[in-house]
Amino acid sequence: MAKVKNPFLSVDARGSVNGMVASRSRSGQIMKAKASPVQPRTQAQQTVRYNFAKLNREFMDLTVTQIGLWQDFAANWTSSDVFGDSIKHTALNWFEAFNSYMQRQNLTLLTEPPLVPNTDFNAYISIYQDASSPGNIFYKFTGNVSLPGNWAIWLGYSSNLPNTSNFKKGSLKFRQLINNYTTTQVTLLAASALSFDDSLRQFEWKGTDDYGRATPVQRVTIHAEAP
Render pLDDT for 178-208 as a digit per residue (tens, 0 to 9).
988 888 889 998 888 888 877 888 999 998 8
Mean pLDDT estimate for the chain = 82
* Contact present, 45 and 52 (Cβ < 8 Å): no
DSSP 108: P
Fold of 125-223: Immunoglobulin-like (2.60.40)
pLDDT band at 32 (very low <50, low <70, confident <90, very high): confident
Residue 72, pLDDT > 80, answer yes
CB atoms within 10 A of CB 137: 21
Taking the domains of the chain in order of start, what are their residue ranges? 2-33, 43-104, 125-223
CA-based nearest residue to 72, from 94, 43, 96, 101: 94
Please state, in angstroms and rounded to a whole number, the distance separating the CA atoms of residues 6 and 124. 41
Cβ-contact 117, 213 below 8 angstroms: yes
**The predicted structure's pLDDT at residue 193:** 86
3-state secondary structure of 141: strand
Pick the most confident of 91-95, 140-144, 156-160, 218-222.
91-95
Is the pLDDT at 10 greater than 60, yes or no?
no
